[in-house]
Amino acid sequence: MPKNAKDFTGENDNILALGTPGGGKTSLFTTIPGKKFLYILDPNSLQTIKGQDIDYEIFLPEEIDISAVTLRTGVRDEPIEAQSVKTYLKFEEHFEEALRDNFFETYDTIGIDGMTSLQDITMDRIQKLNGRFGKHPEYADNTATMATVRKIIRTAASLNIRVFIAAHTDRK
């Protein structure tokens, strides 16, 4: 028997908040009613949610590889192993454990703040796996990063709860 759209309640609408840095995306998250959990990947998020009844986990790299890299093969500063490589592993471990243990079922909304940082830590991890960490990303790195991020978002969106994702429309 087919379902009818008039019977759909739309209780768990997902939200993609797009905007410039500092545009109020995280503040919007605080206004959503119900019990909330937030993945903090943006260093400004915690200041915004301070004092709110929101559970969270922080996944911020403490060190980022800022070594100068040229387009000329083999010409670069000596890279450090950026914490963002480890940050992605910690995020992945938490997310997969939360799925296994039905952690998200205790929340009305889960948030990911922000998409830009999630892409950055994912790219660092993909480049590490491809043996290219500290080099310019290649097409394969970008493709693998987008495929990985897409799987994370599709998995979150398939849960029976609201998902809120904050993403930058421009980056400075």
Q: Of 64-68, 76-80, 121-125, where does the model show the most confidence?
A: 121-125
Single-letter amino acid code for the residue at 91: F
**168: Cβ contacts below 8 Å, ≥ 6 apart:** 18, 19, 20, 21, 114, 115, 116
**33-61 pLDDT per residue, tens:** 999 999 999 888 999 999 999 999 999 87
Determine whether 100 is exposed, middle or buried from the number of CB atoms within 10 Å of its CB (0-12, 13-18, 19+).
exposed
**134-161 pLDDT per residue, tens:** 778 899 999 999 999 999 999 999 888 9
pLDDT of 99 strictly over 90:
yes
**What is the per-residue pLDDT for 67?**
62
66 — pLDDT class (breaks 50, 70, 90): low
68 — pLDDT class (breaks 50, 70, 90): low
Higher pLDDT, residue 24 or 170: 24
**What is the per-residue pLDDT for 147?**
96
**What is the per-residue pLDDT for 76?**
58
Q: Using alpha carbons only, give the angle 18, 20, 21 rounded to the nearest 5 degrees.
A: 115
Kindly report the backbone phi and psi dihedral angles of residue 79, in degrees, each rounded to the nearest multiple of 5, phi listed first. -75, 145
pTM (predicted TM-score)? 0.82
pLDDT of 171 strictly over 80:
no
> Chain-centre distance of CA 137, in angstroms?
19
DSSP three-state, residue 24: coil
Q: Strand 54-58 vs strand 109-113: parallel, antiparallel, or unpaired? A: unpaired
**What is the per-residue pLDDT for 44?**
87
